[in-house]
Amino acid sequence: MFCIFHVSDGTGITAETLGRALTSQYPGIEARRITLPFVKDPATARATVARIQREAGDSGCHPVVFATLLDEELRAVFREAELPLLDFFEHFAGPARELFGEGAAAEVGRSHGIADEASYERRIHAVDYALGHDDGVSTQSYAEADVILAGVSRAGKTPTCLYLALQHGLRAANYPFTDDDLERDRLPPVLRDNRERVFGLTIDARRLAAIREERRPGSRYASVGQCRQEVRQVESLFRRERIPCVDVTPMSVEEIAASVRAHLQRG
């Protein structure tokens, strides 16, 4: 059993993301995860080391520290405590200097800060757009969308739209097919008018039923038969209308978003 600590002089988002990405390659390990952000000075670093040692001692697990610490003095505190330390900045700083020269800003939080005002504003507006065009509530501004995700209810459209907006500044709307849409067996006019922006999401019927069961237990909406029928109809519609789509069953939100972006870049 491991205790994995994501330690950072900033928010910890980068340390956690990279740590999870690396440990995902070892699916057999058991681990508790704790994120410890804002380690900005030696005193905080020593307090963090003490907490890690206490947590590991109390639980009897092996501590591993994934860190993004810009200051070598902070890294030294963890080394002195003989904690297993994997610091991403330390390992890549040297090769980066060779590639880019010595002009590193060495400012904490730049990867999540407002270093690019235009990019920040674009993401904020994209989030507003995603919230205003969620679940087919508003379809009036679909012509302004970078992408319109379409699929059955609970196929992952909303979280993917928000991720695309927040991480990449893409204006993403989503449209859930209704019973009326499926009965007509053709693209709704609002999607037909914007078909070059439409990207389909499909999902295994049993997985969909399990997701819906959490929302509406025991309902027809969550039954495997209903889910199977909806998925079959939507997939047939996508094929007939030549709408690009991806099966999201085995995918995380990040992977779905990556598939959408790859489609947009090819287009």
Average pLDDT for residues 133-144, to the nearest whole number?
91
Determine the pLDDT at residue 172.
Answer: 97
| Residue 267 confidence (pLDDT) above 90 | no
What whole-number percentage of the chain has pLDDT above 70? 93
Instruction: Please give the model's pTM, rounded to 2 decimal places.
Output: 0.69
C-alpha Rg value of the chain to the nearest Å: 23
| Residue 238 confidence (pLDDT) above 80 | yes
DSSP, residue by residue, 136-189 = GS--TTGGG-SEEEEESTTSSHHHHHHHHHHHH---EEEEEPPHHHHHHTS--H
CB atoms within 10 A of CB 40: 17
Tokens of 65: 């520290």
Determine the pLDDT at residue 27.
Answer: 83
Q: What is the dihedral of CA 179, 189, 243, 249, to 10 degrees?
A: -30
Residue with tokens 């030294």: 76
Determine the pLDDT at residue 167.
Answer: 87
